[in-house]
A and B are shown apart, each in its own frame.
Chain A
């Protein structure tokens, strides 16, 4: 349990909001103590530390709503009157519905708090140095990255009888190794518990991939069967998770618009938003409206089963909330791709001429609704012939559509892990194995 004062403070602000004339209110207070060490060229550049407190306030009156962010409870309290005057100028939200009525029972999620992370302090410098050493030992010449760790305390109170809190720790490392400027590798590890955290593994992986990338060859742009490795899968799934948010669907930013209930992916694909995953990097017991979080199957064996909702989008789409609030927009907590049976070697053996893509970054859409996009692929892009990795290639760009990729998933690996790295477009933690996708399009600059 979090200290009582964070909930008391949130509850006090809810009462203050009702006293100035709002008919609904919710207050979320997040207190964070967080640290980071950044490194490059095998050396530490800077150590950082944050002691922060954020107070998020939702208020509504007669179906008109406002969301505010403060850092001081007194400032928040003083601002309520002004918010009250602002809000009367707005029209009624056409999908307004009351906050969910509590109190609720929340599931205990194991393995999301570890006091050892809070006490890491100077040992982190040694952890960074051993991560760098692992990458160098695996063949890298230069190593860069960041180690970040901390504690979040979150308290939530609403005018509909919700008073709850959670405490979580986190630690993650992002490593990029270089043999030269074009032979690079990436590694990442994240955890809620220090005992499960393996930064040296991230270092080793990045170094090995960088070393493998030194043997270079050339292939033409075109269509290739492709294995997307963990980091690349995570970014692909982040974009798919964004498209599953009902807010994005109605805003025109989703390739799932009009496709509910349809077969939109290979039958190998089952995709779940799973905020209850034990020890999950994105696990959380309640959403911002106070509703207990739950496992939500978004895609089941290729069929789009639901969008992700808060209470407002649920009303717009004539359904129930999926406990993914956001007061304005719902979003996924933690995306889990159901594993298959194939090892990496077995996936490779299914390719006669194709590619392995270790990381996909910088995704931008040509058209959100058709799902056409391109991504920069990096940190290990390998040409495969008859199941064997032959050489690394550069300057190709992943240029396809997410709907094609979903439909062309041929096999799903069995080696799942938690993935969190800097390039995740939506910052949503992912639990996934590598995947094999047939007929993926790659382009290159004109000559």
Chain B
């Protein structure tokens, strides 16, 4: 993708002339192709091809942002002047003054490698995959009357220019597969859904093998419908599958460690955080509890090497051996906290401001097999996958409802149980970790935040873990 770099240079030049102290320009080009198959019927091919620019301005301590995807150069000049004027107006009329941390300036370009480029994947290949997935769900012991399968292939190209001289050009192709099935048997209804994805070429979809995943999902739904028993309730040991652990650390560690939430900038929308800035060094989990957010994992759905402020990305160790180690920062919160940014500024599209986001958040694996974790449980459950979840606005009170779960008796896995409910506080969850498995798995998700809403691609990851003496509702 060729960008009109002269336009970016022009914006920076005009902005500085108008009195801005800092300007950052993002030019973006996004293309995608998607297919929806519902109950075996191809609903539609969907394509997008969008291109535009987003500009953030800092002047006299105030901040403004504007975005354009059409219009003349004179419109652009007028919008630059308005943005600088608005930032100055805010600076004059507000009690706080926005500052950015000092950071190293980079000029670089990168792309996520593709073995089988997504652009070369034919619509018929996409279609075959979805129809094969739909077909396999019908080879099941129970009826699966509602089936929804979706595949999206996209390419995001981006050029970032800052008035400090940062220049980053990137290209990230991504693929996302989603499936949701409803199975019925003897008047009982169960549902499950799953999302997989990453950055790279078609090989990442082939590796995940959606047809086998779908086959396994309907088999587990079938087993639960035919053999499932009511979940036991009360205090017991619980083994959680990597799917559940990944989402749990995303919600209970990633979000509350976002420094903008800690400072209250998202207070009216997603909420604040039970974590305060003084809690660095606080022991919040067991010694086995280490949680990392790492944008640099090759092939990941949340992959990037520089954030949208041009800061170089690195792994962020949010919890190290149970101790709070660092928060997620952009340049604005880093300046407030007196630290360096750890490159967490992301915008979902050119028409959104960069704000603090997770990338690929996961619990570090341990050295135990699933069998070794289960062996330690005399009576409890194994919640492998979940359906319903949520967490309160301070990220303190969370809930997961199992969609695939099994009873454990005397260290052995028994039959399926229906909808066990783990409703637990964040500290109780992290302190009860008594064993960590070695099998780390990642799932794709679209993380929502901010106003206007910004959905960004992330991985959530985790190994199987053992929680001691937690309360299960049924």
**Interfacial residues, chain A to chain B (CB-CB below 8 A):** 36, 38, 40-53, 64-72, 75-76, 79, 83, 86-87, 89-91, 93-95, 122, 125, 129, 142, 144-146, 148, 174-176, 178, 181-182, 247, 250-253, 257, 327-328, 361-370, 372-376, 378, 395, 397, 399, 422-423, 443-447
**A367/B191 in contact, CB under 8 A:** yes
| Residues in chain A near residue B189, CB distance under 8 A | 367, 369-370
**Nearest A-chain residue to B235, judged by Cβ:** A446
Most chain B CB within 10 A, of A142, A366, A369, is at A366
Residue from A38, A328, A376, A422 in contact with B392 in the complex, judged by beta carbons closer than 8 Å = A376
- A446 and B47 contacting across the interface, CB-CB below 8 Å: no
B63 touches A45 (CB 8 A): yes
Nearest CB in chain A: distance from B419 CB, A: 6
20 pairs from A and B in contact (CB 8 Å cutoff): A38-B451, A41-B264, A45-B63, A45-B265, A48-B66, A51-B70, A52-B52, A52-B70, A64-B42, A67-B45, A67-B46, A93-B44, A122-B86, A125-B93, A174-B451, A252-B180, A364-B390, A395-B392, A422-B451, A445-B428
Cα–Cα, bound, A165→B170 (Å): 39
B: number of interface residues (CB 8 Å): 92
CB < 8 Å A-B pair total = 263
**Chain B at the A interface: mostly helix, strand, loop or mixed?**
strand
Inter-chain contacts of B124 with A (CB < 8 A): 89
Sample of 16 more A-B contacts, CB < 8 Å, known A44-B62, A251-B148, A252-B191: A49-B66, A49-B67, A51-B67, A51-B68, A83-B47, A86-B33, A90-B45, A90-B127, A95-B41, A125-B90, A142-B264, A144-B268, A375-B390, A395-B396, A444-B397, A446-B235
Q: What's the Cα separation between A199 and B51 when bound, in Å?
A: 35
- Could you mark each residue 74-97 of chain B with 1 if its beta carbon is under 8 Å from any beta carbon of chain A, else 0? 010001001100110110011110
CA–CA, A280 to B147, complex, Å?
A: 36
- A374 proximity list for chain B (CB < 8 A): 388, 390, 399, 401
CA distance A375 to B397 in the complex (A): 12
Contact B42 A175 (CB under 8 A): no
In the complex, per-residue mask of B425-444: 1 if CB is within 8 Å of any chain A CB, else 0:
10010000000000000000
Q: Which residues of B contact A50 (CB under 8 A)?
A: 66-68, 351
> For the complex, is B267 an interface residue (Cβ under 8 Å from A)?
yes
CB nearest to B181 among chain A residues: A252
Chain A nearest CB from B128 CB (Å) reads 10
> Interface readout for B181-198 with A: 1 if CB under 8 Å, 0 if not?
110000001110000000
The residue in chain B whose Cβ has the minimal distance to the Cβ of A126 is B93
Q: Decide if B44 touches A445 in the complex (CB within 8 Å).
A: no
A446 and B71 alpha carbons, distance in the complex (Å): 57
> Taking A46-B65, A422-B268, A445-B424 as contacts, is the C-beta distance between A378 and B392 under 8 angstroms?
yes
Given contacts A40-B265, A44-B90, A397-B423, contact A70 B390 (CB under 8 A): no
B269 within 8 A of A: yes
**Chain B contact residues, CB within 8 Å of chain A:** 33, 36, 38-39, 41-52, 62-71, 75, 79, 82-83, 86-87, 89-90, 93-96, 98, 122-124, 127, 145-148, 180-182, 189-191, 235, 263-269, 271-272, 274, 351, 353, 387-394, 396-399, 401, 419, 421, 423-425, 428, 451-453, 470-473
A146 and B451 contact, Cβ closer than 8 Å, known pairs A68-B49, A93-B41, A378-B393 = yes
Which residues in B have their C-beta under 8 angstroms from that of A94?
A: 41
Q: A397 contacts which chain B residues (CB < 8 A)? A: 390, 392, 397, 399, 423
Shortest A170–chain B CB gap in Å is 13
- State in angstroms the CA–CA spacing of A360 and B272 once bound together: 16
- Please, which residues of chain A bring their CB within 8 A of the CB of B69? 51-53, 71-72
Q: Please state if B47 and A174 are interface contacts (CB–CB under 8 Å).
A: no
Q: In the complex, A331 Cα to B47 Cα: how many Å? A: 21
Residue pair B49, A75 in contact (C-beta under 8 Å)? yes
> Most A CB atoms within 10 A — which of B44, B64, B89?
B44
A51 to B95, Cβ gap below 8 A? Answer: no
Contact of A69 among B44, B47, B393 (CB under 8 A): B47
Complex contact A365–B387 (CB within 8 A)? yes
B146-A79 in contact (CB<8A): no
A125 touching B451 by the CB < 8 A rule? no
In the complex, which residue of chain A has the Cβ closest to the Cβ of B50? Answer: A71
Q: Give the 9 A-B CB pairs with smallest separation, nearest first.
A: A446-B471, A252-B146, A252-B182, A144-B267, A176-B268, A144-B268, A366-B388, A66-B45, A145-B268
- Cβ-defined contact, B47 with A367, below 8 A: no
